[in-house]
Structure 1
Amino acid sequence: MCMCSSYSEYFLVLVLSLTLYYLFNMNIAEDKTMAKNGLLFVSNAAKTHSACQKASKYVQKKLYINLRKNTQFTLPTVSQEIEKLYTKATSECLNLDVRLIVKPSEAVNTIKTNTPIDILMYDSALTNEVRDLEKSVVNLNTDYKLQSIEFADVKQADINPKDEPVKTYEYVALGGTFDRLHNGHKILLSQAVLRSTKHVTVGITDVNMIQSKKLWELIEPVEQRIKAVLDFLTDINPDLEYNVFPLQDLYGPTKDDPKFQMIVVSEETFRGAVKINEKRKENGLNPMDTYVITMAEDSHPQRSHEEEQKVSSSNQRMRLLGTILRPPVPNPNIPDWPYVIGLAGGIASGKSSIAEKLKKKGAGLVNCDIIAHELYKPGLPLNSTLVEAFGKHIINDKGEVDRKILGQIVFSDKDQLEKLNSIMWPAVLAEAQRQTHALGAAGHRVVVMEAAVMVRAKWYRSCHQLWSVIIPPEEAVKRLQKRNNLTEEEARQRIAAQPSNAEQIAAANIVFSPYWSYEYTQAQVDRAWDQLQEYLKSRG
């Protein structure tokens, strides 16, 4: 009887334990807290491109997807699914970093991701394999959860015997900017990895190769891009050799290294592959085979007609305009209120139009260029100081400083420009700060201090935030010629005498570019102002 009682108690404890285990690990749908990073196993290829939408209910940051090796794991099928998955992810999983593990897994293999997994998901057809799936994943968090995903509405993938075979190579190469790794990049990289059996080389375009790009000043540092690409590659197949390096020219090592057998390119960079093969021929090498991927369509719900139709880094950089690039750091050297925005931008950049839009939003406006002009008036101490420094010929018939004559002197002579700055800057800043305080006393919570020399003079150190305005230099030359009736050479001289776009935004919290339509510029200002209002609520 005692023995029976013991067995009964043991059985009861066992059932209770199994029940609790099931409720805790399997019934995650009742848990309202989403996991940060997840791994989803799918049983056949047809489910792969539907996985993103289904798994996004449970994961908020990074989603790994693994297609279990079976009769449907053929290279042509996986190649198709790569394009389908990442194209769909662009519209269906905007905030998820989706990664299809290209190397197939079996129960005896292991999957090691760079990011720890918080939730392990599997489609219901793999229920009997759950324990093997768990054992195959190396980087599981200790408190990971399990979740079954239903794919009842997804049919089996059709296996077409006429599918073009995917040829594999030991050494595969590709190149690109890879700024802010997006789904188009992932297609390119994944197709290269799928076709390699040993080694993949990726050239990341460096400074001298990116300056023709749209908003190139916002491109991430090459070291950061290299790290992101290497992280992705080792996630989708850690068993290959990778060489990810800064690319200084079009050719890189492919022009003279006989090991390379294939290059993967996009439709728009196909011509580059042709040139590389021409160079290889000159060097007595066999041409590389070329695989061309189709550009993925950008189906972002907020895509503007100003942006490209394809998924691109240019679109991503354009969408950064008017958003916080660097969080503001409290400035203990100035009063908390009014909240001062330093507005920087080169000559003819459209800085004043941005300032006026912010004024219409309710900001007080201090124009340092107007202050400087006012200080040129006759009878003021600064007027006689400038005459002593540059001569009487800078004074016009009205007794004012002739800005055009003064400009001709200083914009062609660095020493003369520095002399002018040492005289003007302290006087202008002092008056700007006086006007800022006056606007604050009059009830303005936000005051915009607009100044062409904001960055060079480091006046942003007297502000709470720095907002910068940039346009392409060639556009600035055209605008300046038209506005000031200057020759092209004169316009270029004036622009060259100012900080470059890259310098203007190096410390900026927010960047604008009024290069496109009025509506697109206004949308940038709206975003920036709305974000500022939310931020100011936390300051009381």
Structure 2
Amino acid sequence: MFQTGILVLTSPLSLISLRIAPVLAAAAKIVENILYVHLHPGLGLAGNYFQPTPTYIPANREVSQILTNLYAKSLNVCSCLDVRVVLSNIKNHCSIQQPFSSVQMLSEPPEVVLTDYRITDLNQSNIVMQCLEKYVLGCYTCKSNLRAMFLPSGIDGAENFCPDVMDSNLCESIPNYSDVVLGGTFDRLHCAHKILLSMSCLLTGKRLLIGVADGELLHSKVLKELIEPYQDRVEKVRKFLLDVNPAVQYELVSLRDPYGPAITDPNLKCIVVSDETRKGGEAVNRKRLENALQELAIHKIGLVENVNRTTDEEEKISSSTLRKRLLGSLLVPPKNNPRIPSTPYVIGLTGCTGSGKTSVVQYLQKMGATTINADAVGHESYRPGRAAHQKIVQEFGQEILLKDGTINRIALGKIVFGDQEKLKCLTSIVWPETAILVKQMISEAGAEGKPVCVVDAAVLLEAGWNDMVHEVWVVIVPEDEALKRIMKRDNISEEDAKKRLANQWTNAQRVQHANVVLCTQWEPEFTEKQIQKAWHLLQNRRPTC
């Protein structure tokens, strides 16, 4: 297997969509990471040499259709590969383009050349491979030990295929604009993003301005806590664009409102939108008119169908669907802590109040996990006779005691909630005592031969207890949903519910420390699917004795 490769497609454009699925499937057995695709229909031998330079392909509707089909099919047949169609030799108004003057530098130089070129004379195969290597080396930076390999063309007799009616619209050129703008979140760069970005590259003859959503624009996103950091998203987009067409001038800017520079830049000529963001493009034009600027041409790119979707996913390929697929999977490998015994394997389960931890615990119990409720243990830690009891009474006074000498948790809560200093004083007493009791219970579970122990602790991370667990699992839910649950469960006002959440870590803070993330936002059946997935993956990675 090779990490990177380049696929040179020599089939006529009209046949590429027919052949691409089996060709990509074959390529996925050879290349593991990045697969560049170079279109050169009709490339062939002239004596013992390939044509010395790439031939420009006009940017027309047929090319647009091929790009869409190629990326969409790559998702279905080789989703593990990062496919990138190089656009350097696909040009608008190709007659005025200058010949290739230098070798294009790729971010990950290919180690292998793959092609669908059809060999008619087996005696020429070695010559063809050598010529193919020279051809690719003349176009792109490659590994010094570059190799060439043939792939099956995919469909026998496809070369004889001829559609009954040729679509004349396919020959229509794609419009060309000097300055093009588009915006998006671009989280976990996927095939729909690649289509959007690639088409934008073909539309512009000079500059492509890209707004990458950040700040307030992310607040309404599904599973916003799992969105990649802004800088990571920007670098992935930039790396992709420089690979597919380095000749375009790219500007990537932070987008913190729905409009960004699209309503102030006088040089812009076209805005690229999707089916669901067309209204946003129209809103941009209204703002431009208010600013005495020329309206932008609106170029719409169709959505890509998620043909492998489950009942829990959207019909289109989207970043939110990819984030949902991360739920229950291992996001970050657990750190090896030699101070923690391997048995039982300890999961620290945490989440804000109202996140749904209780339901997750119940599912895990059904799957065979031993569970420890750290909140209940914490209450036990300050019962009369325990060390914490006397310390709490000394700190907060006799008025927090009931007639039987136990601490009135309601009275104590009214004192500490809303007062950070008093709350910190309480936790400095209770958390260390709770940790001692929890560790004792974990040891007892190990002595009984329990394989997996789940410590259910809302304050797991705040208290620093993650140093006594092998993995941290975080349960999240949107804040507005958590507020509704808290108000209903505890019969309190929204103001009081917000105070409780304010005293805890946010979802985003918890996720930064998570090995696994679960979300109870949707139907219980989907929550159970996440937990089953997480449990199954856990069994495959935890050590067994």
Q: Which residue of 2 aligns with 1:62?
A: 34
Deviations 1:353-382, CA, capped at 9 Å, x for gaps:
222322332222111111122234345443
Distance in 2, matches of 1:35 and 1:492, equals 50
Counterparts in 2 of 1:214-253, with a 5 A limit? 214-253=222-261
Q: 1:263 to 1:174 in 2, by over 3 A?
A: same
> Aligned in 2, Cα 1:98/1:126: closer, same or farther, shift over 3 Å?
farther
Whether 1:120 and 2:113 are equivalent positions in the alignment is yes
Q: How many residues align?
A: 505
Q: Cα offset for 1:71? A: 9.7
How far apart are residue 466 of structure 1 and its match? 1.1
Matched, 1:48 2:16: yes
Partner-residue secondary structure (3-state), 1:490: helix
**Alpha carbons of 1:47 and 1:244: their partners in 2 closer, same or farther (altered >3 Å)?**
farther
CA distance in 1, matches of 2:445, 2:157: 63
Q: Is 1:94–2:79 an aligned residue pair? A: yes
Q: Distance in 2 between matches of 1:208 and 1:411?
A: 29
Give the partner amino acid of 2:407. V
The Cα shift of 1:388 comes to 2.7
More moved, 376-385 vs 188-197: 376-385
Match of 1:199 in 2: 207
2:110 touches 2:146 (CA, 8 Å); kept in 1?
A: yes
Partner of 2:48: none
Distance 1:197 1:71, change over 3 A: closer
Measure how far apart 1:517 and its partner are: 2.0
Instruction: String of CA shifts for 1:309-342, please: whole Å, max 9, x gaps.
Output: 1101101111111111111111133333322221
Post-superposition Cα deviations, 1:9-60, rounded to whole Å, max 9, x if no partner, equal xxxxxxxxxxxxxxxxxxxxxxxx4664332323322343342531332333
Q: Which residue is 2:45 aligned to?
A: none
CA distance in 1, matches of 2:296, 2:64: 20
In structure 2, distance between residues paired with 1:215 and 1:258: 36
2:530 counterpart of 1:530: no
Partner AA of 2:197 in structure 1: L
> Which residue type is aligned with residue 177 of structure 1?
T
1:162 aligns with 2:169: yes
The percentage of aligned residue pairs carrying the same residue is 36
2:521 is aligned, of 508, 515, 525, to: 515
Q: Distance in 2 between matches of 1:401 and 1:365?
A: 26
Distance 1:248 1:292 in 2: 23
Counterpart CA distance in 2 for 1:226 and 1:315 is 20
Deviations 1:123-164 (A, max 9, x none): 225987736633433222223222233254543677532345
Shift of 1:397: 4.9
Instruction: Compare 282-291 and 141-150 and name the one that shifted more.
Output: 141-150
Paired letter, 2:38? N
Q: Is the 8 A contact 1:105 1:111 kept in 2?
A: no
Pairwise CA distance, 1:289: 0.8
RMSD: 2.5
| CA positional deviation for 1:473 | 0.7
If the length of structure 2 is used for normalisation, what is the TM-score? 0.87
Matches within 5 A, 1:113-512: 113-124=106-117, 130=132, 133-149=135-151, 150-151=153-154, 152-154=156-158, 155=161, 160-163=167-170, 165-300=173-308, 303-512=309-518
The residue matched to 1:197 in structure 2 has which SS?
Answer: strand
Q: Which amino acid aligns with 1:391?
A: G
SS at match of 2:106: coil
User: Which residue identity does 1:503 align to in structure 2?
Assistant: Q
State the TM-score, normalized to the length of structure 1. 0.87
1-structure distance, mates of 2:521, 2:464: 25
Aligned mates of 2:504, 2:36 — CA distance in 1:
47
Q: Measure the CA separation in 2 of the matches of 1:105 and 1:188.
A: 16
Q: Which runs of 5+ in 2 are unaligned?
A: 42-54, 92-97, 121-127
Question: Which 10-residue stretch deviates more, 455-464 or 375-384?
Answer: 375-384
User: More deviation in 159-168 or 502-511?
Assistant: 159-168
- Could you say what secondary structure the match of 1:102 adopts? coil
